[in-house]
A and B are shown apart, each in its own frame.
Chain A
Amino acid sequence: MNSGIIFGSLLDLRQLDLLASGDSTIHRLDARFKLLAAFGFILTVVSFDRYALSSLLPFFFVPLAICAMAGLPVWLVARKALLVLPFALLVGAADPLFDHTVQLQLGAVGISGGWLSFISIVLRALLSAVAAILLVAVTGVPAIGAALARFGVPQPLVTQLLFMYRYLFVLAEEAARASQARALRSIGRRGMGPGPFAAMIAHLLLCSWERAERVHQAMLARGFTGQFHSSQHYRFGLRELAALLLFAGGCLLLRLVNLPQLVGKAALGLIQGVV
């Protein structure tokens, strides 16, 4: 475990968290709308057939538009989304090997269905990752937790999610410190083997256990009896309803109409007319 990697991941998470504290129209919308919108977007994207390519492309404009409206740096969202690329490549890598049927003819070059589905998997993975990242960046994990609770997700699950997120930073900092301390006292390869690593993980586990007990004591000291009460005010108003209808309509349109194909046909018709 490298302390640099731990700190890097931590900073990335904190960056997303900072973005969530922004103040734009998108930020101000109720978290439940954003949760539904992200879920709907991902469902729409994955519902395309395995060879779909051109019909997926217009979906990339949706995150771009959200980034512009919410004032999010596109490069940051793109960089984080690219983290899913290795997994997507791994999942789709076998397709070109098994599916040799030519599905697309580009001049003299025939492109097999395997390659099409491989690219389609990568595009869909990227779009789904972007949707999840944008959801966190314009909502924040605490608000997502609250929205999940309002949707009826059991309170213990939501509480676990929120506590995990709250103490992720504390634990990651502890892990990074332990890792650094180990590296500083390791000479050559000695000390970097699996033995000390396992001992370090066990130590972190015990520290987490003790911290959990202290947190529970702090909760009890402030009158906790097992029931979480919320101080949040939620409002899923007309604005959210209108935004949801608009977003759902847009997704449906992009799902049913292949816009790039339509534009291509129109452009071709125009060129043929001129010639």
Chain B
Amino acid sequence: MSNPIVSADQLSFSYPDGTVALRSVSFVIYPGESVGVIGANGAGKSTLLQQLNGVLSPTSGQVQIGDIPVTSATLQEVRRSVGMVFQQPDDQLFMPTVYDDVAFGPLNLGITGQALEQCVFQALDAVSARHLAVKPPYRLSAGEKKRVAIATVLAMHSSVLVMDEPTAGLDPCGRREIMQLLSAFDQTRIITSHDLDMVAQVCSRVLLLHEGEIRADGAPGDILRNTALLAGCRLELPLSLQACCICGR
């Protein structure tokens, strides 16, 4: 097996108000894996994601991207490798137009001119959003915003895509489109979600977090079918695995 692309070693984090969000979390992720991070509200999912590209720094422990430890000195290098899609697209899309927003990351990486244009349109094409290039972000639908938010990260050619609740707040079609997109990518994907059906379909591995600790790490088929384990972490079986509420089967 190849070397891990993401590794967390005894990672702990507390917020300034004293809330402990992560407690000695350790895991390794290999290139190309699609990992779902699940857990109830407050389990530490979003906090964990924000450690991966140095938006938050651990209280103790260490995160490593490839063989680069995430420190203040390596942030630029780490952020080039780890692209993060935030839960609220309105937080992620802050530039006047979709084109400018997708170009924001590449420009910070020093890409300009023709290469920049190519980079932006490639990313927009990957999420079928080329036609939105000149639009201001606030005029997009929720699904379009999510797709464009993903394009902003794709444009940076990140090898690891980190996504916080990518299907939250979307209608069924928008959710389906995002799921198809996520399945089509060959980058390493780390996805937090409460949408366990999406996780079951898109992810090849699941990390179950509860109160800042990893309670389970394994195949979706093993974890998402374990009613007792899920219930102990304030979760329920994915809808697709629950009995029909009408016929009971």
- Supposing A222-B152, A223-B76 touch, asked if A166 and B108 sit within 8 A by C-beta, the answer is no
Any A CB within 8 A of the CB of B100: yes
Q: Which of A217, A219, A221, A225 neighbours the largest number of chain B CB atoms within 10 Å of its CB?
A: A221
Residue-wise interface mask of A (196-230) relative to B, using a CB-CB cutoff of 8 A (1 in contact, 0 not): 00000000000000010011011111111100011
Cβ-defined contact, B103 with A231, below 8 A: yes
- Supposing A223-B108, A231-B107 touch, asked if A166 and B96 sit within 8 A by C-beta, the answer is yes
Instruction: Give the distance in Å from the alpha carbon of A17 to the alpha carbon of B97 in the complex.
Output: 12
Cβ-defined contact, A170 with B90, below 8 A: yes
Instruction: Give the distance in Å from the alpha carbon of A231 to the alpha carbon of B105 in the complex.
Output: 11
Cβ-defined contact, A231 with B88, below 8 A: no
User: For this complex, into which size category does the number of interface residues on chain A fall?
Assistant: 20 to 34
What are the residues of chain B within 8 A of A170 when measuring CB–CB?
A: 90, 138
Any A CB within 8 A of the CB of B15: no
- Supposing A211-B91, A215-B94, A231-B99 touch, asked if A221 and B108 sit within 8 A by C-beta, the answer is no
Any B CB within 8 A of the CB of A145: yes
What are the residues of chain A within 8 A of B116 when measuring CB–CB?
A: 231
Cβ-defined contact, B91 with A231, below 8 A: no
- By a beta-carbon cutoff of 8 Å, the part of chain B in contact with chain A is 50, 53, 55, 76, 79-80, 83-84, 86, 88, 90-92, 94-97, 99-100, 103-105, 107-109, 112, 116, 120, 134-139, 152-153, 156
Instruction: Give me 13 other A-B pairs in contact (C-beta within 8 A), A211-B90, A217-B86 excluded.
Output: A140-B96, A162-B95, A162-B96, A165-B96, A166-B95, A166-B96, A166-B136, A170-B138, A218-B92, A218-B94, A219-B94, A222-B156, A230-B107
> Which 3 A-B pairs give the minimum distances between C-beta atoms?
A142-B96, A223-B108, A222-B105
- By a beta-carbon cutoff of 8 Å, the part of chain A in contact with chain B is 14, 17, 21, 140-142, 145, 162-163, 165-167, 169-170, 211, 214-215, 217-225, 229-232
